[in-house]
């Protein structure tokens, strides 16, 4: 069974090498997409990604990977079965592996995500 197609601008390549400066405001300024995701750097077996998002993602889960979200600006709502987690600037949460979730941003939101480098952001 093939995965459905989604129109997200997701870049899984590692943009910055170790010891390079990562300028988040510049990345945000250059972005014109509604749902943008870029891997910034690799940390051992994990990666740090920036998400610049507005609107809804689809319901999905990651069978083998936890996923950490940390909001820098805006507001991120993460729907999980039975409730919604609200994240505002300087707040974060970890979604455990196997939990169905749907991130959504009612306004333009900038967030950092930390997850394994093998994760498929679309879900399993």
CA–CA separation, 5 vs 72, rounded Å?
28
Torsion of CA 73, 92, 68, 1, to 10 degrees: -70
Please report the pLDDT score of residue 102 as a whole number.
Answer: 96
pLDDT (mean) for 34-55 = 95
In the prediction, which pLDDT does 4 show? 52
Q: What integer best gives the mean pLDDT of the chain?
A: 91
The arithmetic mean of pLDDT across residues 10-37, rounded, is: 93
**One CATH from 1.10.645.10, 2.60.120.10, 3.30.70.1230, 3.40.605.10 for 9-116:** 2.60.120.10
Give the pLDDT confidence of 90-108 residue by residue, as tens digits: 999 999 999 999 999 999 9
The residue to which tokens 């990345």 are assigned:
27
pLDDT for the residue 92: 98
């Amino acid at each position: 069974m093939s995965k459905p197609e989604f129109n997200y601008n997701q870049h899984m390549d590692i943009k910055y090498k170790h010891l390079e400066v990562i300028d988040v405001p510049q990345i945000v300024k250059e972005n014109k997409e509604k749902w943008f995701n870029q891997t910034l750097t690799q940390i051992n077996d994990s990666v740090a990604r920036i998400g610049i998002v507005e609107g809804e993602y689809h319901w999905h889960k990651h069978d083998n990977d936890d996923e950490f979200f940390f909001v820098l600006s805006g507001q991120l709502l993460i729907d999980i079965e039975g409730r919604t987690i609200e994240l505002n600037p300087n707040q974060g949460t970890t979604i455990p592996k196997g939990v169905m979730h749907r991130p959504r941003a009612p306004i333009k939101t900038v967030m950092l995500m930390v997850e394994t480098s093998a994760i498929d952001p679309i879900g399993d």
